[in-house]
Structure 1
Amino acid sequence: MSETFVDLGSVNAPSGVLVLGMAGWIDHWRELGRPLSERARTAASAGGGHLREWLCEAVAVPAAADRPLAVRASTSPSPFDGEPVIATLEVALGLPWPETVDRSAPIRLGDLPVDRCGMVVGDAVALDAWRGINDEPADGLADVFYWGLYEDDAYARFGGERTAQYGVDGPHGWLDLPLVEAAARETELTAWCDRLHGKGLMVAVEGHTDYHRFRRAGWHHPLRVGAIEVGGCQVLGIEWDQGDHSTRHRGERDAGQVYPVTIEADEAGGTVMRWTIPPYDSADEDW
């Protein structure tokens, strides 16, 4: 039976090199000696390849530089809660399949784990500018959230709005605060809880890094996909449900939880990159 795909949006790759990588580690490539774009360009010049150093992993492929590249996915039920999760991620590369290459068999480039922090699809050069989890936000803004046993008491004292996330009401908080104001809110909430209760309230300040922005952009998408601009290019980020990740992808590469990335010919004779996560089978569990 053929797969049914849904559109996730598009990315652009003006450098001519597209990357699928682990969101939690994109910003670490530049700390390991060579920028991601240089490594990706070398891999793409050979037709595509897998990049890995330390905990950083990605796949890089050549792509058309002059047009949007459509991204779509098929889904399968999560073993965690039965909700749809990505089974096949496919990116149209905007290039014809080489006439000299057999189109009947996929070309395997390597494999990737599902990063607990999510995955990113985007232009290799643009991703050199990626601001990761611990980076400073470019816009100087942050979101503040609080939750826990005394959340209702804190709301009565401090206010804040609930933000819908992933189909349910999220924690109370404030969006788009200047960093100084966000830090002051965190200090005020924490001091209030310490004074009256000692514990029972969690407070988080999320700066507008690219990592946080793509997660926020995906709050209302059924597959947790968010489009943001990075380095002047449109990039897609895909967050994974933490329950699904823990049930199915825990341990990642160290536990052998990796999935093949291929380039293939589509029905129209174009080239696509595919990352395929086989359907869940409880018989595969090793308890």
Structure 2
Amino acid sequence: MPEIFVDLGSVNAPSGVLVLGMAGGIDQWPALGRSLSARARDAASSGGGHLREWLCEAVAVPAAADRPLRVRASTSPSPFDEEPTVATLEIALGLPWPETADLPAPVRLGDLPVDRCGMVIGDAVGLDAWTGLEGEPADGLADVTYWGRYEDDAHAQFGGERIAQHGVDGPYGWLDLPLAEATARAAELTAWRDRLHGKGLMVSIEEHTDFHRFHRAGWGHPLRVGAIEVGSCQVLGIEWDQGDHSMRHNGERAAGQVYPVTLEADEAGEMLMRWTIPPYSFGAED
């Protein structure tokens, strides 16, 4: 049966180099010696390749600089809850397949694990501006959420709105607060919990780093996909359900949980990058 693809949106790559990388380490590349864009440019100059240092991994390829690049995915059911999850990720690169290459034969660029923190697709130079977990929010804002056994009691005391997320009610909280106000509200909730209950309420404050913004952008999407702007470029992020990750991808590269990335030609003779995650076999014994 042929794969059925759904559109996830588009990205742009004005530098002419596109990256598919692990979101948890995008901002760590410079600390490891060279920027992501410098490494990616070298890989793309030879037709594309795999980048890996310490816990950071990505694949970089040449791409058209003058147009949006479509991103699609096919899905397979998760072994965790049987909801659809990404099986094949396909990115149109907008460039003709090299005349000297064998058209039907995919070119293997390497393999990538599914990062528990999510995956990012975007322009190599744009991603140099990425702010990770320890970064500073450019807008000075943050989101505060709370949930758990005593969430209704906390809501009666402090208020807040249900924050919609796909398939679930979502936590209570407040979005887009000035950082000082967000910090004060989180402290009030925590002090109230500790004074009355000790535990039973989770409180989170998330500053508007790019890492948080891409997760937030995917809250309403069935595949947890969201688009944000980073370094004046449109970037797509894909988050994985933590239950699905634990059952399918846990351990990542250290456990051999890696999946091939290839360069292929589409029906029109243009280049595609594909990342293929085999469907889980529900009949297989653990």
Q: TM-score range by the shorter chain?
A: over 0.9
Offset at 1:31? Answer: 1.1
Structure 1 partner of 2:63: 63
In 2, Cα distance between the equivalents of 1:29 and 1:243? 28
- Post-superposition Cα deviations, 1:126-176, rounded to whole Å, max 9, x if no partner, equal 000001112111100000011122211111110001111122111111000
Structure 1 partner of 2:88: 88
Structure 2 partner of 1:46: 46
Structure 2 partner of 1:281: 281
Structure 2 partner of 1:13: 13
In 2, Cα distance between the equivalents of 1:236 and 1:129? 15
Structure 1 partner of 2:228: 228
User: What TM-score do you get using the length of structure 2 for normalisation?
Assistant: 0.98
Q: What is the SS of the residue equivalent to 1:185? A: helix
Moved more, 131-140 or 87-96: 131-140
In 2, Cα distance between the equivalents of 1:284 and 1:129? 43
Structure 2 partner of 1:124: 124
Matches within 5 A, 1:1-287: 1-282=1-282, 287=286
Offset at 1:198? Answer: 2.2
Offset at 1:222? Answer: 1.0
Offset at 1:282? Answer: 4.5
In 2, Cα distance between the equivalents of 1:33 and 1:282? 43
- Post-superposition Cα deviations, 1:13-36, rounded to whole Å, max 9, x if no partner, equal 000000000011101111111000
The CA RMSD measured in Å over matched residues stands at 1.0
Offset at 1:79? Answer: 1.1
Q: What is the SS of the residue equivalent to 2:279? A: coil
Q: What is the SS of the residue equivalent to 1:24? A: helix
In the alignment, residue 278 of structure 1 is paired with which amino acid?
P
242 and 192 in structure 1: CA distance in 2 versus 1, 3 angstrom threshold: same
- Post-superposition Cα deviations, 1:48-77, rounded to whole Å, max 9, x if no partner, equal 000000000000000000110000011111
In 1, Cα distance between the equivalents of 2:266 and 2:105? 11
In 1, Cα distance between the equivalents of 2:284 and 2:42? 36
Give % identity: 80
User: What TM-score do you get using the length of structure 1 for normalisation?
Assistant: 0.98
In the alignment, residue 66 of structure 2 is paired with which amino acid?
D
Uncovered stretches (5+) of structure 1, i.e. residues with no partner:
none
In 1, Cα distance between the equivalents of 2:131 and 2:23? 10
Offset at 1:283? Answer: 6.2
In 1, Cα distance between the equivalents of 2:85 and 2:105? 26
May I ask how many residue pairs the two structures share in their alignment? 286
